[in-house]
Amino acid sequence: MNQNTKVSPGPPNRLTTPSNTPTVSESPKLTRNPPKQLLQEIESRAIASQQQISLTKAHMTAKQRDIRMLQLTSKELSELPSETNVYEGCGKMFVNVPVDTVNKRLTRESGEAAAEITNLEKKLQYHETTNQKSRENLEQILKSGRA
């Protein structure tokens, strides 16, 4: 045998060379029954996108909860007299902070969380589209395999 000759996984003692190896379009068996590897890849992509959808929704819920907490804290601070002492936790101790500084921090954190929610919405839309396309491809392959 020369270097370009290989043993095929088919019947025993059958030799094929790279030039006469059957391709997908030449093999009627492969066109009627899609390769399992392709189906598994599409299915794993659909499962992964479904998991990412769940994870992204959980992150969005957490950020919305954070925004609500920041809004409630800001509302409570606005109801206090301006000369009230306000303290923030700093490690194991508390530091006296002006009310305006706390309100600015709460507003900034709320804006950052809203921006993160916008990014998460885009991510969610991407994963939902990927999941839908994977499912459609899977259904199309299965339908064409049965026809």
pLDDT at 34: 56
Q: Residue 29 above 60 pLDDT?
A: no
The better pLDDT of the pair 3, 64 is held by: 64
Token pair listed for 86: 């306000």
pLDDT for 89-146, tens place per residue?
Answer: 989 999 999 888 899 999 999 999 999 999 999 999 999 999 999 999 888 888 887 5
pLDDT at 7 over 60: no
SS3 state at 145: helix
pLDDT of 28 strictly over 80: no
- This prediction has a pTM of 0.66
> Quick one: three-class SS letters along 1-55?
CCCCCEECCCCCCCEECHHHCCCCCCCHHHHHCCCHHHHHHHHHHHHHHHHHHHH
Reduce the DSSP state of residue 136 to 3 states and report it.
Answer: helix
φ, ψ of residue 23 to 5 degrees: the values are -100, 175
